[in-house]
Structure formats: C-alpha cells, structure tokens
Structure 1
C-alpha cells in the first residue's frame, strides 16, 4: 500500500469517527399536549401541569380541547409525578339567576360575589405508566382528587389506564388525607 493510500485511509477513518460525534442524541423530554376532563358538576376554570396551562373544562365535560405543552420524560419511570394546580367553580350554572341585563352594575356585582366562591387546589399526582409518550390527560374527580395519564392512548380505549364514569357525584363527606 502506498503512503498516499495509507494517509487517505487514515483521513477517511478519522473523518468518519469525528462525524459520529455530530449525531443528535435522542431527547429525554418532550412537550406533550395537555387535555382535561371534569367528572363532576363543577367547572374547572383553569388548570396547569407543572406550570403549563390546560384548557378550561365545563361540568361533566372535557376532551377535544388541548393546550401546549407539558414537558414530560419520553420514557416513564417509577415515581414520576406532576404538579397539578386548578381553580374550580363549584356552581357554574349560577349565572342564570343573576340580575338582568347582562353586564349591568347589578349583574357585575353578582359575578364578583360568585367569584369569591371559586376554590384553588394543588396536588402532586403520580403519572400512570406509559410505554409511549402521548397526550397528558388530567381527570378531575370528586373530593378534589386528580388522576393523570401521559401515554399514546386515550379515554374510552381498553388500554387506557383509567375508566372513570363521565358523571361522578360528590359524596356527602370526602375522605381526609
């Protein structure tokens, strides 16, 4: 082998090795869309997952509206939790009884009074096991309980981790933690 061929071979080998360092590593976290479900008669005025906002949710409603995004690990691991914070309107249909006309001084006063009954909550919630990262689904349950999934499946499918009825009633007394 000639000296030129050896140098060319070495240069090719060194170039190939240096290019391997340019390969992009797989991400450890990705932004996952956030969707919510209220299984109670309360409205969820706003909520967040690790500080990232989700959509508002009507009583016994949810799904179909998404906000972006909660950074989540690509691979689920034991002990994975998220912080969910939310504002709840326990009587969302009360506005039907407010004075008329809408947006009058009396109506605005009733709205301000109504807002004083909103409650604010915060929970550290385990995330259900997932094989593939998908949408972050937050389920608001009676007694200010919350369940969270983040897999590539969705409510109603057999492989979804939760099977809550859409309408759940608040018990007369809630268990204390």
Structure 2
C-alpha cells in the first residue's frame, strides 16, 4: 500500500513539474538598468526584490519571463538624496564634524515605492529592464534593447529635469 501511495505522489509531482515547464513560465536573466532624469541622486533601487545601486548604469541581474504576458508588474523601491552635493560644505573627511554632518544628511534621505506595468515586448526582444526615474517621483520602465537617447527607445524625457514647483496629482 505504501509503495502505491509513493508512486501516486511521484506521478502527481511529475505532472506538476511538467505543468511548470511550459514556455509561458520560462524565465531568463537580464540586466537591471537605471536612468536618472532628475537632479537628485538615486542612492539605490530595487525591482521585485532585485537590488541595484545608483541612478545611472546597469547591474546584474533581474529575472523576467521570456515571453511577455498581460499583468506583468514591477514593484520598485528607491532611495533619493535631494541634496547630493551637500558634502562639499561639510568639515574635512574623517573628522567628527564630517561624520555628524553625514549622519544628519542621511536622515533626510527619502524612500519611495510604486508598482508599474511592464510594457509589452514581442518574442525575445527584451533586453532586461530599464527603470527611468522622473521628476515628482514618477517611474517609467522599458524592456527595449535600444539605449536611452536612441530614436527607437520609447522613453523620450530629457535628463537633468528640474522638479516643478507643484507636482501633478
């Protein structure tokens, strides 16, 4: 009796595993890139738990489905330094005054999170995920293989954008 039950469980496990290996569920790794369009510093960010540093450049890796499907979302968290050049006014590096100024400055870092839709890509045209940090703490993402600045890249906002006096709701 125990042998039959074990075979039944192994058979059920085999069916479950076959069900999980469909093309719809295949995953692949890609680069996680940040493009900062603001005057603030992006100290770090994460997408669906994959953490990277800074608001420019790329980091390895993020896992995405090989085929796009409706409802794909990116849960993005990030930390902003609204005064990235404050250190130029601090006491000399390595002093108690410097450490105190740094601690006070870090206390003003701002943390944000949002969930955005991942836009559709066709076939295997996904080249990882690029996260664009815009003014008013808005985020856009793209999986385009075209780099920022290319006429084929879907994100057109310029870099070095100043925050508006009032952000739209």
Query: Is the 2:39–2:162 Cα contact (8 Å) retained in structure 1?
Result: yes
- Structure 1 residues 111-156: Cα deviation after superposition (integer angstroms, max 9, x where no partner): 0000011000111011122221112100000010011111322212
Q: What residue ranges of structure 1 are gaps of 5+ in the alignment?
A: 1-20
CA distance, structure 1, for counterparts of residue 22 and residue 70 of structure 2: 23
Match of 1:34 among 23, 32, 35: 32
SS at the partner of 1:133? Answer: coil
Matching of residue 134 in structure 1 with residue 150 in structure 2: no
1:25 to partner: Cα distance: 6.4
Query: Is the 1:35–1:55 Cα contact (8 Å) retained in structure 2?
Result: no
Q: TM-score, normalised by structure 2?
A: 0.80
1:80 to partner: Cα distance: 1.8
Q: What residue ranges of structure 2 are gaps of 5+ in the alignment?
A: 1-17
SS at the partner of 1:134? Answer: coil
Q: TM-score, normalised by structure 1?
A: 0.77
1:77 to partner: Cα distance: 2.3
Matching of residue 152 in structure 1 with residue 145 in structure 2: yes
Alignment of 1:79-94 (within 5 A): 79-94=71-86
Q: In angstroms, what is the RMSD of aligned CA positions?
A: 1.8
- Structure 1 residues 42-100: Cα deviation after superposition (integer angstroms, max 9, x where no partner): 0000001111012312xxxx2xx32111111112223321011001000000000011x
CA distance, structure 1, for counterparts of residue 35 and residue 96 of structure 2: 34
Match of 2:114 in 1: 123
Work out which of the two has the higher radius of gyration on C-alpha atoms and give 1 or 2. 1
User: How many corresponding residue pairs?
Assistant: 147
Match of 2:59 among 60, 63, 67: 67
